[in-house]
Chains A and B, each alone.
Chain A
């Protein structure tokens, strides 16, 4: 059992790196895009609200595997030359997770009393600054726990990229089987590593909650 891990540290290292790249790459896209789309859904501009709603409903209602398929088979048709599957997987994860980030942000925005936005508008702040200076900083406090759940789900969703020839913790079993290791041993190690990674995120969550506690 121990040998399944320590005998192949090179492969485990590469797989972990793949997962980390998928998580941080997809997470960065999801966070930026999600906050923008969440903002669009509460904006005073009807077109922005409509685009945000369509995006969330279209992408969130599509299974992640299907989005991966669309990227893996669609992009090579559209783009000439070599296709970077890791890059595609990052974008697929990011665009998919952004819908969950957007909805979580919207829930957070709704916890901020409407008077806060009215006061911000009344001193002449444009919509963007009403959001960035007054609403989002207060919404962030409310959304840390559900937002962390979204990112934990993203971390585990990185394993879906296994089906698209991207080496990560979700696909390492196939590589290890080729090297003659027992599949159950490998999968147990994968589970242990995921539990540890999620614990790191949970730790980050309690740190953030403490730092952004509502000052009273």
Chain B
């Protein structure tokens, strides 16, 4: 079977800086892949290049068998099928929580307002912020905003979801409420690519851990094996720092 997301020989340069070096990665339908690594290792760039928020210099990225299109209508259609959750939530500041979730379904999927609102309310209930539907993003806590952002992505019924450090901007007590939602999604079979440092999440939900350093995929393993028995010195070094601090 063809993988849902496949990256082949992906290279990315920012001027002189070589951000991604020969990245090869295949994610099957229903798989949860956690991307881990020190800051500056290229893991966010990798995540953002999958829905072309970052362009790549060379190589190919295919989603559901289709090559990532260049800018334009075709790219917009593809992005509708790829959910994205950002570190800084990025909820639409001028729209209510409900409008944040219904905007895509109404404008991109062509749902009626009534249908879209019905589905949005169900999704907001599912992530535990149903009672906040009429507020504006700035009136919610970070954890609540991030759960709304997940609901906004889910409303598009995506084939795969990308999470770019979804808990890095959150206070410790809010991290779990977001991770719980993500674990739930993983259990239901959502295909997910998650950039995170949350080892608990990786252990609980990931099928595979991809360790990146200096723009390269250094190691790829199942979570238990990676965390208890890393093969490369680079991964050992990184993990030892995570544990001692």
Contacts and interface: CB of A to CB of B under 8 A. Distances in A.
Interface string B75-91: 01111111110101011
Contact of B93 (A44, A123, A138): A138
B239 to A, nearest CB: 31
Contacts of A137: 94
A121 interface: yes
Contact of B76 (A118, A125, A133): A125
A216 B136 contact: yes
A124 B156 contact: yes
Contacts of B73: 126
B108 A123 contact: yes
Nearest to A134: B92
A215 interface: yes
A129 B78 CA distance: 16
Nearest to B105: A123
Contacts of A133: 103, 107
A122 interface: yes
A118 B89 CA distance: 11
A119 B81 CA distance: 13
Main secondary structure of the interface of A (DSSP, over half): helix
A121 B92 contact: no
B91 A122 contact: no
B139 interface: yes
B90 A125 contact: no
B60 to A, nearest CB: 21
A123 B94 contact: no
Nearest to B100: A119
A125 B93 contact: no
A137 B94 CA distance: 8
A86 interface: no
A175 B202 CA distance: 83
A115 B53 CA distance: 11
A119 to B, nearest CB: 4
Contacts of A123: 79-80, 103-104, 108, 152-153, 156
Nearest to B109: A124
A123 B76 CA distance: 8
Contacts of A122: 51, 53, 79, 82-84, 153
**Could you say which of B83, B104, B152 has the most chain A C-beta atoms within 10 Å of its C-beta?**
B104
Contacts of B79: 121-124
Given A115-B86, A118-B86, A119-B86, A125 B107 contact: yes
Contact of B91 (A44, A119, A124, A214): A119
13 contacts: A118-B90, A119-B92, A121-B53, A123-B108, A124-B104, A124-B108, A125-B76, A125-B107, A125-B108, A133-B107, A134-B94, A138-B93, A216-B139
Interface of A: 44-45, 113, 115-116, 118-126, 129, 133-134, 137-138, 141, 214-216
Interface of B: 51, 53, 71-73, 76-84, 86, 88, 90-94, 103-104, 107-108, 136, 138-139, 149, 152-153, 156
Query: Across chains A and B, which 3 residue pairs bring their CB atoms closest together, nearest first?
Result: A124-B80, A123-B104, A119-B90
Given A119-B152, A125-B76, 17 more contacts: A115-B86, A116-B92, A118-B90, A119-B84, A119-B149, A123-B156, A124-B80, A124-B156, A125-B104, A126-B72, A126-B73, A133-B103, A137-B94, A138-B94, A141-B94, A216-B136, A216-B138
